[in-house]
Amino acid sequence: MDELLFNIQNKVRQATKDNKGVATIEIILILVVVLIGLVVVFKGQAAELLTKIWKAVTEGASSVTG
């Protein structure tokens, strides 16, 4: 039992010293926040653009199908 606790303590110490993935996680979180901000800021414009694109696609499809 003592050996198990010792191994767990060593693993926890190693995990706290190992910071390899921290930078990657920070970058991903920053990108997510920036993307959410862009969505909030350009929500109306993006919706309008998607509506125009969808309208063009449906009109084009109706001209092909008759």
pLDDT tens-digit readout, 35-64: 999 888 888 898 899 999 999 998 887 777
Q: State the pLDDT at residue 8.
A: 82
Mean pLDDT across 27-41:
91
Q: What percent of the chain has pLDDT over 70?
A: 91
This prediction has a pTM of: 0.45
Q: State the pLDDT at residue 66.
A: 59
> Of the candidates 12, 28, 35, which has an alpha carbon nearest to the alpha carbon of residue 4?
12
